[in-house]
Each structure stands twice: as C-alpha cells, then as structure tokens.
C-alpha cells in the first residue's frame, strides 16, 4: 500500500517509508538475442521493460549500469569447466558435429543453440553478479531483469536456462554475508538453486510454485534439505488458479517467519512473471499488484535485496510487471495510464499498466493452504536460531575506491597504469587461471589430522582473481575498480574441509527432465 507521496506505508515488518539506493543493470544488446521461431522465451521482453522504465521516468531515479560480461572463470565458480567450454564454442553451424555433447549437456529443443548464446549467458550472469557486488558495497537494492534463470545445473542446461546466474550471485553475496536467503515466485520450482545449496545452512531457499504434472517435477513439500542443510529448503507446492489473497496468505507468514529465524544478511528474490494471470505457459491467477506485493514485503525488511527476472512468456505482461516492481523498489507509485513509447502497440487495446486477473477456478482450497502453512511453519520451528557460521577462508572484499572528479580525464576510458583486470578478447583464458567450480554438489569431505596439515592447508590458498563490477552508463557515477576473490569454503566446521571435485564428471545416465506444460 502506498501513501500519497508514493512511498510504501509501514508494514508489520518495519517502517518502509524511506527511499532506497537502487541500482539497475541493463545491456542494450540483450533484446537482440533470439532463441528461435516459436520458442516462448523472448529476451525482447527485457528491452520492452527498459522502454517502459525510461518513459515512466524511473531511470533518472536509478543508478544505471551496463554489466561487464561474466568471464569463463567467473562462470566456473559453479559450473563445470567442460560445460562452460562447450557453451563458449558451440554455434548453430557446428552443433551437428557435437551431437554427443548436445545430449550430455541437455542442449537442444528447450535450450537451443542460437547465435550469440555464450554472449547472452555472459551478459545476464554479469548483471546478477554485478548486482551482488553493488549490494556488498552499500546499495540497498540491485535489479537485473535479464537474470533469474533458475533451472540451470552445474553440468547441464534446463528449462530455457544455460548458466545459473542466481547461484553465482549468491556465491558473491556469501563473501560478505554469513547467510543469504533465496525466494522464488516463478511458477516453476527453483530447482537449480535449491540443488546447489541443498546441503548447506548458509543459504536458505524458498520456492512458491505449481506442483504436480508440471516442469520440472520437483519441489515437494517434503523436500527440506539434507545434512547441515536440513530444513533450509522450503517448498510451497500450489495448484492451478491461485489468486492474490490466497498467495499472500502463505507468502507473508512464511517469509516473516523465515526472516525471524534465519536472519539473512542479504535476500535474492527471483520475480518470474509466469505466475501472473494469463501467462502463455502458466496457470496461476495473480495480478501484477499481487505479484509485486512480494517485492514490497521483501523491501520492507530493509535487508540488501537483489531483484531478478526469470520466467514470463506473455511478454507485454512481463514488461508491465517488472516496470511496476521497479517502481515498488524505488517507492514510487506509477500511473496506470501508459505513456507513449516505441512498443506502445503491444499494450492495446487498453494501454494500461495493470491487467485484471481472470475468473479461472482457484483449486487451492482454504484447507489445503492451511495445511501447507502449518506444515512449513512447523519445519521452520525446528530452526531454533540462525546458524553461527565462520569462514574457514574469507575471500578478499571487492573494493570500489571513489574517483576524484577533479583529476578524472573524461576522454580516457581506462588508465594504462591501473591494475584493473581487463580481459583481452583475443587471448583465451589459460587453464592455470581457472578456478574450480564452487558447486555445493560433487564435494569431498576430508578430515584434517594434525596441526601440520592445517598449516599446509592455509599455505595453499587459491590465488585471487578479479571480478569487475558493471560499467557505469550514467555520467554522474564514477567508474569503479574491483578485485575479486577465489573460491571459498561453505562449511563452517573447524575440523572439516569442503573441497571441490575438480573432475566435474557427469554420470553415465542423463538426468531425467519433465516436459513443460
């Protein structure tokens, strides 16, 4: 709910009537990528969203950044080296010569090879990691509507997703924050992110999704995590036709309890818009305001918040939703009458920001919702307090020194004496510079015996790398300089070391998937 000035009114969580420092990542080329004729995933929706933001005047209230493309070694913090190498080299012209790899990495019909595939992955992953870096350095909210591709796995593509930018962003946030909360309101289960952090108590994943005969077929209420991660995965299985009131009757009490017991240092909210009424692939009945109420509620906790895109296949409604939610992030209420802009014809005949939900049946009975809420609150009650976590090896903090405007040469793009890591696109990454992927899966737990081995472990820390933050697009924001960190341990025990399995080998049998509805 908004007051007359456009700021959110106070909620039960905390006072929310203050402005936030919000940054926004956007690459003007992102709308040019094309999955292929008839494919429901259309990156053009990101360009449509940006046009709405511009014509509603929201960009002047945002710090706008062009993301620096994620590099191969950045992607390998989670993904297998050979999978990333495949994405980098495969093209529509050469894919027929790589049939075995296409099957191995689940690239084909749902996840096709298209022109610029690897650049697309670098762009959307770079925006999410860049947003995490900004949150680690003082921003309140970071937005990357091109991100949120939550199905991608360590060694395979899935559900239109190739690189899991969310996992990479969470790993960046874990450099500063002991605990990170991931919340997913896409209609599909956030399986890739849950799987990545299924055995750790440092990341809690909460997914609200359609469950049943529906892609990806995972996300049962009984799936709660494993080992140290038990009860740190929360799945909210829903049926067709859920409306705003029913959705919020679960979202607010569950998330309120999660915030109370888990106490995250940062939150990642995946705002998949396929949970909206009338989506091409979805079967929920949320209005844009109902969907955005999740953003408003998460904003009210005053915890660093990363907003990401995700699904959404009726693209005019995707653009409407993410534009409105950008306004919510800023604390600005937008006029329902849409301003004239280059994609105005997409929004006829009403040319309004909001659309009415349908009269479809809500198959989520009050009894069903009560049972789900009761069961999940009971699971949360087993988390008596936030886990006390210490890093075994804390990566160096990424720093952003302030530029001296009096000494800045506006005509010089890069200082030749700077130690900023700038990749030469003509030179391939050397194998020795790759870092092991930071998957929570495929790890070996090794007991350390004796002080000598512990000292040797400390002496063999990984080398530092450089993660560049997004390149500034607005003139008033100085260019930033960053140093990045190597991979880190997720486990907090003093006598247990979690090591990466660098072999990155796939099982002989492919992972089974379920067809999309």
Where do the H-state alpha helices sit in 142-235? 165-173, 191-196
Give the tokens for residue 333. 């209420």
Where do the H-state alpha helices sit in 346-404? 366-381
55 known ligand binder: no
Q: Which of 505, 429, 436, 504 is nearest to 76 (CA)?
A: 436
Q: Is 74 left (phi over 0), alpha (psi -120 to 50) or beta?
A: alpha
Q: Which of 287, 209, 207 is nearest to 243 (CA)?
A: 287
82 known ligand binder: no
Q: Which of 303, 298, 318 is nearest to 187 (CA)?
A: 318
Which one from 150, 151, 177, 466 is the annotated catalytic residue? 151
186 known ligand binder: yes
Give the tokens for residue 359. 């009269």
- Element (H or E) spanning 65, and its range? strand 63-66
**What is the number of helices (H) and of strands (E) in the chain?**
12, 11
Phi, psi dihedrals of residue 161, rounded to the nearest 5°:
-115, 135
Spatial neighbors of 141 by CB under 8 A, at least 6 apart, are 20, 21, 22, 23, 135, 299, 304, 305, 306, 307, 329
Per the annotation, the verdict on 151 as an active-site residue is yes
| Residues 120 and 30 sit within 8 Å (Cβ to Cβ) | yes
> Which residue bears the tokens 């569950």?
254
User: For strand 63-66 and strand 471-472, is the pairing parallel, antiparallel, or unpaired?
Assistant: antiparallel
DSSP per-residue letters across 242-271: --HHHHHHHHHHHHHHHHHHH--SEEEEE-
Give the tokens for residue 72. 């191969």
Q: How many CB atoms lie within 10 A of CB 419?
A: 9
Query: What sign for the dihedral angle of Cα 304, 469, 486, 401?
Result: negative
274 known ligand binder: yes
Please list the active-site residues. 151
Which residues contribute to the annotated binding site? 110, 159, 186, 188, 274, 313
Which residues contribute to the annotated binding site for a divalent metal cation? 186, 188, 274
């Amino acid at each position: 709910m908004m007051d007359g000035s456009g700021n959110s009114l106070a909620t039960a969580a905390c006072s929310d009537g203050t402005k936030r420092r919000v940054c926004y990542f956007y690459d003007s080329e992102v709308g040019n990528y094309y999955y292929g004729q008839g494919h429901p995933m259309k990156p053009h929706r990101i360009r449509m969203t940006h046009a709405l933001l511009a014509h509603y005047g929201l960009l002047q209230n945002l710090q706008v950044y062009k993301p620096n493309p994620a590099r191969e070694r950045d992607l390998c913090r989670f993904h297998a080296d050979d999978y990333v190498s495949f994405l980098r080299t495969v093209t529509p012209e050469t894919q027929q010569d790589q049939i075995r790899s296409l099957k191995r990495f689940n690239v084909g019909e749902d996840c096709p090879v298209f022109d610029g595939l690897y650049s697309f992955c670098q762009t959307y992953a770079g925006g999410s990691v860049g947003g995490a870096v900004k949150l680690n350095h003082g921003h309140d909210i970071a937005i990357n509507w091109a991100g949120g591709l939550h199905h991608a796995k360590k060694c395979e593509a899935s559900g239109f997703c190739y690189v899991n930018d969310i996992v990479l962003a969470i790993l960046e946030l874990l450099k500063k924050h002991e605990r990170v909360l991931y919340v997913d309101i896409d209609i599909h289960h956030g399986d890739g992110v849950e799987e990545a952090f299924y055995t750790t108590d440092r990341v809690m994943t909460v997914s609200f999704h359609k469950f049943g005969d529906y892609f990806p077929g995972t996300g049962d209420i009984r799936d709660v995590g494993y080992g140290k991660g038990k009860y740190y995965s929360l799945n909210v299985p829903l049926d067709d036709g859920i409306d705003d009131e029913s959705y919020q009757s679960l979202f607010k009490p569950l998330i309120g309890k999660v915030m109370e017991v888990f106490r995250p240092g940062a939150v990642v909210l995946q705002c998949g818009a396929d949970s909206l009424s009338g989506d091409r692939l979805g079967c929920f009945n949320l209005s844009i305001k109902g969907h955005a109420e999740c953003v408003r509620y998460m904003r009210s906790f005053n915890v660093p918040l990363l907003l990401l895109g995700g699904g959404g296949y009726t693209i005019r409604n995707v653009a409407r939703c993410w534009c409105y939610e950008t306004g919510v992030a800023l604390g600005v209420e937008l006029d329902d009458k849409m301003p004239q802009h280059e994609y105005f014809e997409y929004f006829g005949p009403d040319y309004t920001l909001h659309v009415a939900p349908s009269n479809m049946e809500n198959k989520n009975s009050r009894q069903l919702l009560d049972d789900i809420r009761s069961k999940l609150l009971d699971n949360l009650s087993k988390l008596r307090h936030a886990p006390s976590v210490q890093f075994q090896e804390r990566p160096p903090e990424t720093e952003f020194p302030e530029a001296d405007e009096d000494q800045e040469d506006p005509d010089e793009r890069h200082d030749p004496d700077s130690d900023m890591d700038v990749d030469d696109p003509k030179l391939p990454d050397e194998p020795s510079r790759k870092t092991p992927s930071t998957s929570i899966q495929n790890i070996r737990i090794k007991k350390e015996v004796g002080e000598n081995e512990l000292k040797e472990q400390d002496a063999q820390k990984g080398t530092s790398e450089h993660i560049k933050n997004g390149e500034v697009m607005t003139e008033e924001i100085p260019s930033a300089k960053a140093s990045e960190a190597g991979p880190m341990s997720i486990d907090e025990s003093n006598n247990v070391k979690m090591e990466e399995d660098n072999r990155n080998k796939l099982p002989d049998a492919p992972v089974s998937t379920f067809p999309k509805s």
